[in-house]
């Protein structure tokens, strides 16, 4: 098959989301509530101070929007998709076609993400921007740098969700894993609390784990909290993590496929 099929999957996933228009309102509303709740918490925590640990309140508002709906997207869909396909044996349907399942997943979920970005995240950002106000990138360099960070963030979250979905093949349930992943990631990624507010030992540890590249580093780069050298260095480390996670997904998929075709699931 030609690689042209993969963009077609993304487009199809995008179109399939148009069917459930009510979901758009529900998730936009959910995201707004979550952002305004975090803005309220930060406003209270700052208690009128102009800055805390060198961070201003407007920076925290921008961080709240960047970290959660944008960077920390709804990865649970990937996890359920993989988990269900593996548990019910529907994954056989993909094996019957001349296509590569992980690539199929990647393109499909990119389609879902593109839909959420356009239908949910952008309107939410506009609402937050016009009501509370959002900051532009700290500099032109940081603004440009945000895009490769964003790509790495997206792919790391995708590979982590795939890994958990694939592990379901051995544990035969994705449910407990999802809670496990959710708890770890919301803390380790900095999606709720940025690492700069954590105690130094924890922040240092979390700063080296791949989760930090999901929300914390991209948002920190956008806000100019990393200088040029640190920005390039951390992008490199992020890419190494991405390489390792991708390799892990491919190995696990090969194992799952082997088990599926040898033991019949």
Partner 1 sequence: MTKIVAAADVRKIFRQPKRKPGLGGALTGLFSREFTEVRAVDGISFAIKAGEAVGYLGPNGAGKSTMIKMMTGILVPSSGDLTVLGRVPHSHRMINAAEIGVVFGQRSQLWWDLPVRDSFELNRHIYDISAQRFAENLARLTAMLDMVGYIDRPVRQLSLGQRMRAEIAMALLHDPKILFLDEPTIGLDVVAKDVVRKFLAEINRQRGTTIILTTHDLVDIEEICPRLIMVDDGKLLFDGELRHLRATLGNRRRLTLEFATDPGPIALKTAELVADEGAAKHFLLEKEHTSILDVLTELGSGHNLTDIKLEEPNIEEVIRTFYQNKPSLAGARA
Does position 176 interact with partner 1 (CB under 8 A)? The reply is: no
Q: In angstroms, what is the minimal distance from the CB of 54 to partner 1?
A: 48
Enumerate long-range contacts of 191-195, CB under 8 Å, 24 or more apart: 191/67, 191/68, 191/71, 191/72, 191/215, 192/38, 192/67, 192/68, 194/55, 194/60, 194/63, 194/67, 194/219, 194/220
Residue 39 structure tokens: 């803005």
Q: In angstroms, what is the minimal distance from the CB of 118 to partner 1?
A: 18
Q: In angstroms, what is the minimal distance from the CB of 94 to partner 1?
A: 9
Candidates 172, 233, 244, 261: give the one binding partner 1 (CB under 8 A). Answer: 261
Q: At what angle do helices 57-65 and 21-46 cross, to 10 degrees?
A: 160
Residue 175 to residue 101: CA distance in whole angstroms? 22
Q: Considering only residues 8 through 27, tell me which ones interact with partner 1, judged by CB under 8 A.
A: 8-9, 12, 15-16, 19-20
Spell out, one character per residue from 66 to 105, where the chain touches partner 1: x when CB under 8 A holds, - when not.
-----------------------xx-xx-xxxxx------
**Nearest by Cα to 163 from 257, 253, 263, 99:** 253
Segment (H or E) for 31 = helix 21-46
Q: In angstroms, what is the minimal distance from the CB of 256 to partner 1?
A: 13
Does position 173 interact with partner 1 (CB under 8 A)? The reply is: no
Does position 171 interact with partner 1 (CB under 8 A)? The reply is: no
Interacting residues toward partner 1 by CB under 8 A: 1-2, 4-5, 8-9, 12, 15-16, 19-20, 89-90, 92-93, 95-99, 260-264
């Amino acid at each position: 098959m030609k690689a042209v099929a993969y963009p077609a999957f993304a487009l199809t996933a995008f179109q399939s989301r148009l069917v459930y228009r009510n979901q758009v309102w529900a998730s936009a509303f959910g995201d707004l509530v979550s952002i305004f709740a975090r803005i309220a918490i930060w406003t209270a925590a700052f208690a009128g101070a102009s800055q805390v640990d060198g961070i201003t309140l407007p920076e925290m508002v921008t961080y709240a929007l960047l970290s959660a709906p944008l960077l920390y997207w709804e990865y649970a869909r990937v996890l359920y998709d993989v988990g269900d396909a593996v548990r019910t044996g529907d994954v056989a349907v993909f094996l019957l076609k001349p296509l590569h399942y992980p690539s199929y997943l990647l393109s499909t979920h990119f389609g879902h993400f593109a839909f959420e970005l356009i239908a949910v995240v952008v309107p939410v950002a506009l609402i937050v921007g016009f009501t509370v106000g959002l900051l532009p990138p700290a500099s032109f360099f940081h603004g440009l740098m945000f895009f490769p960070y964003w790509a790495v963030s997206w792919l790391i979250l995708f590979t982590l969700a795939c890994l958990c979905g694939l592990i379901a093949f051995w544990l035969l349930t994705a449910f407990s894993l999802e809670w496990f992943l959710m708890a770890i990631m919301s803390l380790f990624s900095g999606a709720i609390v940025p690492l700069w507010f954590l105690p130094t030992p924890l922040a240092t540890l979390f700063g080296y784990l791949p989760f930090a590249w999901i929300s914390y580093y991209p948002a920190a780069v956008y806000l100019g909290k990393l200088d040029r050298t640190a920005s390039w260095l951390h992008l490199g480390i992020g890419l190494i993590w991405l390489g390792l996670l991708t390799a892990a997904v491919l190995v696990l998929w090969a194992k799952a496929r082997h088990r599926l075709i040898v033991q019949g699931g």
